[in-house]
Amino acid sequence: MNDFDRLERFLRTDPQDVGCDEAMAILHVYVDLAAAGEDTAERYPGVAAHLLACGPCGEDFAGLLLAVTRGQPGG
C-alpha cells in the first residue's frame, strides 16, 4: 500500500457504516458470533464496516473478543 492509498483509505467512508451507538448496542451479539467463527461481516455488514473504520469501537470489539475467549473459567 503506498502513501496515497493510506490517505485514500482513511478518507473513504462506507455508507453501510452504522455508527458507534448501534455497533456498541449489539457488540455482545457480534462478539459471540465472531468467537464462534461465524461470518460476522455477512450477518452484520453495517457493524463490520463501522468496526473497520472506528478505532475506539474496534478496540472495544478486540477487547471483548479477548475477554470472551480468555475469560472462560480457568482461562
**Which residues of this protein are in contact with another protein, per CB under 8 A?**
3-4, 6-8, 10-22, 24-29, 31-32, 35, 43-47, 49-50, 53-57, 59-60, 63-64, 66-68, 70-71
CB of 7 to another protein, least distance (A): 6
CB of 37 to another protein, least distance (A): 15
H or E element at residue 14: none
CB of 38 to another protein, least distance (A): 10
> How many C-beta atoms surround the C-beta of residue 23 within 10 A?
23
- Match 475467549 to its residue by C-alpha cell: 69
Tell me if 50 sits within 8 A of 33, measured CB to CB.
Answer: no
